[in-house]
């Protein structure tokens, strides 16, 4: 009879295990380099695009005032929320929060556009404007009026505009470096990407800029705009967008869907070009699959039906519905093109997070306290719940004291629950700080 207290016997030897480790070494390296997961930093709910020459440090506040004035003319934010389909009780809850948001932080992410929104004005004019844009960004940061994220979109790397786009990027970044430390929320946008090679070229360029200005490796990251069908399915039948994370590890911050360039490339008639057209959904679903686990974020595109003039009411309803639609599909960011789109951007976003918050907070508390409930959540689901609540906190839909009262943890603990790898990152940073102090 076997002795139950004896050490359990195994059949595999250390050599067997070493052989398995050797076989899976490339998989381990791939997962670490290409699929590190989300870094836990804040993602804005939108990106506002304005022609570069229209930017001034006062622009965000000016947009906020225009947004509030448009809502006031429509009977107020609460009435507007109800008219775009938000439940009246929820509208009463989110309207004051949105009003405060439009006064405090009307724009979360701002892009000074040197591409379609700027056009070709000659090299001398664009050279001067690129330097002026950098001066304006620095002035806004110093004045405290800059959005949390700000940067430029330069011209694409296709042959006719490549040299101009690279020069504008160089002038802008070089001027920022000349003026001091780069803004923490600096964002660079590479538009109309068609091939992996264009992204690899962008990596070469930002690496050279880092060396030239003594910046840390990896300091300059960039967005990729998905505006061409060639990036979804390439000439060889593969999907180039799925290769980007491996081609530029750690460099790409997000993929942005370009509604109108992409739709036009597929010969969709202008009146039917939309964020919810089937060709748009297919492209975005492929984007979503391509970057899952890579830490690269996703942004939906824009609607060019603006809430001005006779079309205001219908445009607001459309915009609110499209914002909600994107959120439900896991696209937590989108483009806004006009100040009057800000009210519905925040009303729809806040309603989305407030509507889901009660259930998410209860499930999180039950998970943390191991309390039996109607839903048995696994760690992956708990991470998703925590990420949902954290996004609500970051945009202002949920207040930090609420999560302490309802979930029983503070914001930092919520972030660690949503992104467990942050714990190891913080540990490494703390060890390094201790070592620096000791030295």
Q: Is the pLDDT of residue 428 over 60?
A: no
For the sheet with 334-336, list strands across it. 297-299, 252-257, 222-226, 186-190, 149-153, 109-113, 46-51, 334-336
Q: Identify the pLDDT of residue 373.
A: 65
**Between residues 1 and 306, the one the model is more confident about:** 306
Provide the percentage of residues in the chain whose pLDDT is more than 70. Answer: 94
Query: CA-to-CA distance for 326 and 285, rounded, in angstroms?
Result: 11
Of 322, 224, 228, 330, nearest to 283 by C-alpha is 228
Which of 303, 305, 393, 337 has the alpha carbon at shortest distance from 107?
A: 337
Relative to beta strand 297-299, strand 334-336 is unpaired
Closest CA to 159 of 208, 192, 125: 192
Residue 403 contacts residue 409 (beta carbons within 8 Å): yes
- Rounded to whole angstroms, the Cα distance separating 258 from 344 reads 20
pLDDT of 107 higher than 80 = yes
Angstrom distance (rounded) from CA 306 to CA 313: 10
Rg of the chain (C-alpha set): 24
The confidence score (pLDDT) of residue 6 equals 74
Position 88 scores a pLDDT of 96
* pLDDT, position 215: 97
Q: How confident is the model at residue 426 (pLDDT cuts 50, 70, 90)?
A: low
| Inter-CA distances, 27 with 22, 31, 34, 289, 293, Å | 10, 6, 10, 19, 14
Reported confidence tier of residue 5, pLDDT bands at 50, 70, 90: confident
Asked if 187 and 151 count as a contact pair (C-beta separation under 8 A), the reply is yes
* Residue 154 to residue 169: CA distance in whole angstroms: 6
The Cα 161–Cα 164 span in angstroms is: 5
Burial 142-156, CB ≥16 within 10 A → b, else e: eeeebbebbbbbbbb
Domain 46-352: give its CATH superfamily. Phosphoenolpyruvate-binding domains (3.20.20.60)
Is residue 30's pLDDT more than 90?
yes
Percent pLDDT > 90 in the chain is: 91
pLDDT score recorded for residue 375:
63
Residue 352: closest CA among 394, 318, 322, 397? 397
pLDDT tens digits along 383-408: 999 999 999 999 999 999 999 999 99
Q: Which of 146, 214, 216, 211 is nearest to 183 (CA)?
A: 146
With a cut of 90, say whether residue 377 has pLDDT above it. Answer: no
Neighbours of 314 (CB within 10 A): 11
Please give the DSSP secondary-structure letter assigned to residue 160: T
Which residue ranges make up each domain of the chain? 46-352, 358-422
Q: What is the mean pLDDT of the chain?
A: 94
Rounded to an integer, what distance in angstroms lies between the CA atom of residue 94 and that of residue 354? 8
pTM of the predicted structure, to 2 decimals: 0.92
Give the CA dihedral 109, 110, 115, 121, nearest 10 degrees.
-170
Q: Quick one: tokens of 248?
A: 């530029």
Q: Among residues 250, 255, 118, 253, which one has the least CA distance to residue 185?
A: 253
Which of 345, 429, 415, 340 shows the shortest CA–CA distance to 383? 415
| Residues counted in the chain | 439
Q: What is the pLDDT of residue 433?
A: 46
Half-sphere exposure of 295 (CA within 13 A, CB side): 23
pLDDT tens-digit series, residues 54-96: 999 999 999 999 999 999 999 999 999 999 999 999 999 999 9
Residues 144-192: tens digit of each pLDDT: 999 999 999 999 999 999 999 999 999 999 999 999 999 999 999 999 9
CA 58, CA 251: separation in Å to the nearest integer?
31
Q: With a cut of 80, say whether residue 430 has pLDDT above it.
A: no
pLDDT at 205 over 50: yes
pLDDT in tens, 313-337: 999 999 999 999 999 999 999 999 9
343 pLDDT higher than 90: yes
pLDDT tens track for 245-280? 999 999 999 999 999 999 999 999 999 999 999 999
Q: Is the pLDDT of residue 437 over 60?
A: no
Tell me the three state secondary structure of residue 262: helix
Sign of the C-alpha dihedral, residues 368, 42, 337, 309? positive
Q: Give kind and range of the element (H or E) at residue 152.
A: strand 149-153
pLDDT tens by residue, 291-316: 999 999 999 999 999 999 999 999 99
The whole-angstrom separation of Cα 426 and Cα 89 is: 41
| Cα-based angle 35, 191, 111 (whole degrees, multiple of 5) | 95
């Amino acid at each position: 009879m076997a002795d139950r207290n004896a050490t359990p016997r195994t059949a595999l030897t250390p050599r067997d295990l070493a052989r398995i480790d050797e076989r899976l070494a490339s998989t381990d390296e791939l997962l670490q380099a290409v699929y590190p997961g989300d870094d836990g930093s804040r993602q804005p709910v939108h990106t506002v695009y304005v022609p570069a020459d229209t930017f001034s440090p006062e622009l965000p506040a000016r947009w906020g005032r225009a947004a509030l004035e448009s809502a006031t003319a429509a009977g107020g934010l609460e009435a507007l929320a109800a008219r775009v389909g938000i439940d009246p009780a929820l509208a009463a809850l989110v309207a004051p929060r949105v009003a405060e948001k439009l006064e405090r932080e009307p724009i979360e992410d701002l892009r000074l556009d040197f591409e379609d929104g700027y056009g070709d004005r000659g090299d001398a004019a664009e050279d001067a404007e690129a330097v002026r844009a950098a001066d304006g960004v620095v002035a806004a940061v110093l004045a405290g009026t800059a959005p949390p994220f700000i940067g430029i979109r330069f011209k694409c790397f296709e042959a006719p505009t490549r040299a101009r786009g690279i020069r504008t990027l160089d002038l802008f970044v070089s001027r920022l470096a000349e003026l001091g430390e780069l803004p923490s929320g600096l964002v660079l946008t590479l538009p109309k990407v068609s091939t992996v090679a264009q992204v690899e070229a962008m990596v070469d360029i930002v690496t050279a800029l880092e060396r030239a200005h003594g910046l840390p490796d990896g300091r300059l990251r960039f967005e990729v705009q998905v505006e061409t069908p060639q990036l979804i399915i390439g000439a060889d039948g593969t999907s180039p967008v799925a290769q980007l994370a491996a081609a530029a590890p750690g460099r790409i911050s997000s993929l942005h869907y370009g509604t109108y360039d992409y739709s036009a490339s597929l010969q969709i008639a202008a009146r039917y070009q939309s964020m919810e057209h089937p060709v748009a959904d297919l492209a975005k679903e492929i984007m979503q699959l391509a970057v899952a686990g890579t830490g690269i974020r996703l942004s939906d595109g824009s609607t060019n039906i603006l809430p001005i003039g006779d079309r205001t009411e219908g445009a607001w309803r459309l915009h609110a519905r499209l914002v909600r639609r994107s959120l439900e599909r896991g696209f937590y960011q989108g483009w806004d093109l006009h100040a009057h789109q800000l009210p519905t951007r925040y009303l729809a976003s806040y309603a989305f997070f407030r509507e889901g918050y009660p259930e998410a907070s209860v499930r999180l508390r039950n998970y943390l306290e191991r309390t039996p409930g109607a839903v048995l959540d696994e760690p992956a689901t708990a991470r998703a719940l925590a990420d949902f609540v954290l996004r609500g906190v970051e945009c202002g839909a949920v207040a930090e004291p609420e999560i302490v009262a309802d979930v029983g943890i503070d914001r930092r603990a919520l972030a660690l629950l949503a992104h467990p790898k942050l714990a190891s990152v913080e540990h490494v940073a703390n060890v390094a700080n201790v070592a620096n102090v000791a030295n």
